[in-house]
Amino acid sequence: MNRDDLENWLTRYRHAWSTDAPADIEALFTEDASYSPWPYATPWQGREVIVEKWIGRGDSKRPWTFEHRIVAVDGDLGVVEGVTGYPAHRDEEESEFKNLWLIRLAPDGRASQFAEWWVQRDND
Q: How far apart are CA 58 and CA 124, in angstroms?
A: 26
Which of 59, 47, 36 lies closest to 115 in space, CA to CA? Answer: 36
**Could you read off the pLDDT of 46-76 as tens digits, one per residue?**
999 999 999 998 777 788 999 999 999 999 9
- Find the range with the poorest average confidence among 75-79, 89-93, 100-104: 89-93
Q: Pick 9 or 39 by higher pLDDT.
A: 9
Question: Which of the four pLDDT bands, split at 50, 70 and 90, describes residue 94?
Answer: confident
Q: Pick 39 or 104 by higher pLDDT.
A: 104
Domain architecture of the chain: domains with CATH: 3-120 (3.10.450.50)
